[in-house]
Amino acid sequence: MTLQDQRVVLLGGTSGIGLATARLAADHGATVIVASSNPSSVKRALAELPATASGTAVDLTDPAAVTDFFAGLDPFDHLVYTAGEALSLLEVRSLDLARARQAFELRYFGALQAVHASVSKIRPGGSIVLTSGTAADRPAAGWSVAASICGAADSLVRSLAVELAPLRVNAVKPGIVRTPLWPDGFDYDAAAESVPVGRIGEPEDIAEAYVFLMNQHYATGSIVTVGGGNVLV
pLDDT in tens, 178-188: 988 887 778 88
The answer to whether residue 86 scores a pLDDT higher than 90 is no
| Confidence band for 1, pLDDT divided at 50, 70 and 90 | low
Residue 111 sits in which domain range?
7-232
Q: What is the CATH number of the domain that holds 124?
A: 3.40.50.720
Alpha carbon distance 116, 38 (integer Å): 22
Q: Find out whether 17 and 47 touch, Cβ atoms under 8 Å.
A: no
List, for residues 192-210, the tens digit of each pLDDT value: 998 999 999 999 999 999 9
Count of domains for the chain: 1
Residue 1 forms part of a structural domain: no
Residue 84 forms part of a structural domain: yes
pTM of the model: 0.95
Overall average pLDDT of the 12-20 stretch? 96
Residue 74 forms part of a structural domain: yes
List, for residues 31-73, the tens digit of each pLDDT value: 999 999 999 999 999 999 999 999 999 999 999 999 999 999 9
Sign of the Cα torsion 38, 39, 44, 45 reads positive
CA distances from 216 to 2, 7, 77, 221 (A): 10, 16, 13, 12
The answer to whether residue 87 scores a pLDDT higher than 90 is no
